Amino acid sequence: MKLKLNQDELTEDFFHDTRLLGIVVSAKSYRFCWQLNNSLGYDFRLNPDLEIHLQKKGRQYFFSVYQHAVNNFLSHFIYHNQYDGEYLLPEFKHMDFLWLIKGETVPDEECRKLIQSIKNVNDVQLVAELTNEQIKNKGNLIF
């Protein structure tokens, strides 16, 4: 008997209680996270266990993920959206980073405040919330 993983169900479970922001920044990922940690009080750290591996056109691509845990329920993740000319979410090629808030429902007002505070960080050019309907390759974000 073969068990088949229901990809749609897995994706739906993963994205339950999440918000996703797209960010355009002129800084490298480690510098951007350092700026967030210093100016906004986060503690983003590179988490090699969450790195996303994709295989496309016979090549391997590796997308780094930084993590900041608020508590046992709420975590923030920053994905690097580009690696060696390939994109984690090709539908958002113009976005350098993807900021995923996962674990608890984040109220709209709190999300607006977060977006505003990110916009005030040096080198940040754009921050936009991305809706589930806009994301075609959700499965690429699952770790």
Residues of the domain holding 40: 13-141
For residue 121, the 8-state DSSP code is: S
Asked whether residue 99 is assigned to any structural domain, the reply reads: yes
In a domain, 1, yes or no: no
Stronger pLDDT, 80 or 15, i.e. the higher one: 80
Residue 28 lies in a domain: yes
Query: What pTM value is reported for the model?
Result: 0.88
Residue 134 has pLDDT above 80, yes or no: yes
Q: What local confidence, expressed as pLDDT, does residue 88 receive?
A: 95
For 54-110, write each residue's pLDDT tens digit.
998 899 999 999 999 998 889 999 999 999 999 999 999 999 999 999 988 889 999
Q: What is the pLDDT of residue 21?
A: 97
97 in Cβ contact with 79 (< 8 Å): yes
Task: Please report whether residue 6 resides in a domain.
Answer: no
Q: Is the pLDDT of residue 29 over 70?
A: yes
Q: How many domains does the chain have?
A: 1
DSSP 8-state secondary structure symbol assigned to residue 88 = S
Task: Supply the pLDDT for residue 14.
Answer: 76
Please check whether residue 8 lies inside any domain of the structure: no
* Per-residue burial over 49-79, b = 16 or more CB atoms within 10 Å of its CB, e = otherwise: eeebeeeeeeeebebbbbbbeeeeeebbbbb
Whole-number pLDDT of residue 119: 97
The pLDDT, as a whole number, for residue 67 is: 97
Specify if 98 maps to a domain. Answer: yes
**Positive or negative: CA dihedral 117, 129, 79, 93:** negative
Does residue 5 form part of some domain? no
The pLDDT of residue 6 is 67
Could you tell me which of 127, 81, 113, 99 has the C-alpha nearest to residue 33? 99
Question: Phi and psi of 6, rounded to 5°?
Answer: -85, 100
